[in-house]
Amino acid sequence: MAGAVPLDWAADTARRRGVDALRLDCVRSNDALRRYYEARGFTHRGDVPVGGAPGQRQDGGPVTWVSRHELAFRAG
């Protein structure tokens, strides 16, 4: 799948830089993307409201619910 290439690159880069985890967010209603992240080893860490329209984060205006997924590299 084409999405695997950038995910693998991001995970490899994060590991080399010594970070503990890689987090990806997506719109909560995107069930297919959420399933894909989880199939790639990411753990769902909850849903949060984000102010503003997607790509325009700000206070006020519409609220977008975002699902957070994490791929941990180290225990803890």
Taking the model in full, what pTM does it have? 0.79
Calpha distance 75→5 (Å, rounded): 25
Calpha distance 7→21 (Å, rounded): 13
Calpha distance 20→74 (Å, rounded): 6
Confidence tier at 62 by pLDDT (50, 70, 90):
confident
pLDDT of residue 55: 63
> CATH number of the domain at 4-72, please?
3.40.630.30
pLDDT of residue 51: 80
Q: Is the model's pLDDT at 60 over the cut of 70?
A: no
Find the DSSP H helices in 17-67: 31-39
Q: Is the model's pLDDT at 56 over the cut of 60?
A: yes
